[in-house]
């Protein structure tokens, strides 16, 4: 039987992300965002570019909250990536310390279904992350 393991939410002010990019440039972008996230954001212009970065920042923060670690214990911003599925829906991709911590959170014999919801309304970006444990049978039944 599936069960919710954790939930995280973050609200980000796009102006804060824009100020960090203006001040620190590539040093900030390289430290926080994956190569794929940067490429995705850089295909956009102006406010859409900043909104893309802000939504991904909020997703990283929401995921760190759902992990229960924040950005400590070996969990870094770059360990939490956002990728878009072919239809456009966002999904999380965890590596490094974030993936290791999620593995430790996962109940024996179960897998984690990660759900990510993103939205923005200038000047804010919002992300919600849900970790749900599924049995192997539930995972097979929900597969496309």
Note the pLDDT tens digit of each residue in 109-119. 999 999 999 99
Does residue 3 surpass a pLDDT of 70? yes
Nearest residue to 32 via CA among 40, 43, 22, 21: 21
- Residue 53 pLDDT > 70: yes
Confidence of residue 90 (pLDDT cuts 50, 70, 90): very high
In total, how many domains does the chain have? 1
127-142 pLDDT per residue, tens: 999 999 998 777 667 6
Q: In this structure, what CATH number is given to the domain that contains residue 93?
A: 3.90.470.20
Average pLDDT over residues 47-55: 97
Q: Which residues are annotated as a binding site for Mg(2+)?
A: 10, 61
Which residues lie below 8 Å from residue 64, measured CB to CB, with a gap of 6+? 8, 70, 71, 75, 80, 98
User: Please, which pLDDT band fits residue 71 given cuts at 50, 70 and 90?
Assistant: very high
Domain that holds residue 30: 3-142
For 54-67, the pLDDT digits (tens) are 999 999 999 999 99
SS3 69: coil
* Annotated binding residues: 10, 61
Per-chain mean pLDDT for the chain: 94
Q: Give tens-digit pLDDT for 23-42.
A: 999 999 999 999 999 999 99
109 in the Ramachandran plot: left (φ > 0), alpha (ψ -120 to 50) or beta? Answer: left
Pair 66, 129: CB distance under 8 Å: yes
The answer to whether 66 touches 131, Cβ cutoff 8 Å, is yes
């Amino acid at each position: 039987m599936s069960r919710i393991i954790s939930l995280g939410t973050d609200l980000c002010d796009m102006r804060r992300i824009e100020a960090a990019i203006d001040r620190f440039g590539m040093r900030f972008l390289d430290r926080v965002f994956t190569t794929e996230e940067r490429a995705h954001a850089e295909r956009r212009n102006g406010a859409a570019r900043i909104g893309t970065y802000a939504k991904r920042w909020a997703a990283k923060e929401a995921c760190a909250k759902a992990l229960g670690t924040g950005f400590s214990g070996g969990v870094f911003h770059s360990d939490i990536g956002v990728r878009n599925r072919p239809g456009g829906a966002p999904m999380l991709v965890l590596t490094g310390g974030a993936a290791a911590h999620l593995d430790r959170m996962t109940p024996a014999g179960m897998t984690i279904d990660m759900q990510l919801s993103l939205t923005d309304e200038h000047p804010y970006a919002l992300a919600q992350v849900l970790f749900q444990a599924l049995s192997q049978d539930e995972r097979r039944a929900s597969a496309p």
